[in-house]
Amino acid sequence: MTFPDKPFDGIAAYIDAYAKQVAHAFVSIDRAAMDKACDLLDVTYAQGGTVYVCGNGGSAAISNHYHCDHLKGVQTDTLIKPRVVSLVSTVETLTAIANDLSYAEVFSYQLRTMAGPGDVLITISSSGDSENVVRAAAWAKENHVKVIAFSGFAGGRTAALADVNLHVEADNYGVIEDVHQSIMHILAQFLRLRNMDPALIESRKF
């Protein structure tokens, strides 16, 4: 059974039902996996490695938002200088690779050009099965680039390839993307908290 599986009489009832789905999805997040992802990002940022992020559609928007909240947000009040690249940020590059090679290569081509050992790839895909994201994760695994997968539904191939799988238990794209966005925010805010002067926390906006 998927959500929604029936019509609703009004939007108020749908809000309540949707909120329950989001709440369940949040409970499903593996806290140990979040710890592992947070530690991996912390070490990568501290050592000057680069974090690459990719996804399609709504997940592309989360990739670009990740770039903003981690590159700028994480270093606010800290000594961290996060190196972050969103592989979806330049339509010129994406369309050139898609047109001349294949859309399935738009992320892996960029990784082959820029990434190396000590870097991290974050894949954001509700299905976990988008071919361009899967190829990026496979290239990363073969070239000593760690992979953190944001996944939903059954996890897909990226979940199996990932060093850390941040899986959201849901079967609705909106719910999964909402929680993936929150995971991105939680990682950014917690990394900032962990690396800033505790005396500043109360006076700062997050």
**CA dihedral sign, ordered 175, 88, 47, 204:** negative
CA 133 to CA 110: how far, in whole Å?
A: 12
Domain boundaries, the chain: 30-196
**pLDDT per residue over 8-37, tens digit each?**
999 999 999 999 999 999 999 999 999 999
Tens of pLDDT, residues 41-92: 999 999 999 999 999 999 999 999 999 999 999 999 999 999 999 999 999 9
Measuring CA to CA, how many Å separate 99 from each of 105, 131, 160? 10, 16, 29
Beta carbons of 89 and 95 less than 8 angstroms apart: no
Confidence at residue 118, expressed as pLDDT on a 0 to 100 scale: 96
Q: What percent of the chain has pLDDT over 90?
A: 100
- 30-196: CATH architecture: 3-Layer(aba) Sandwich (3.40)
β-bridge mates for residue 55, sequence order:
124
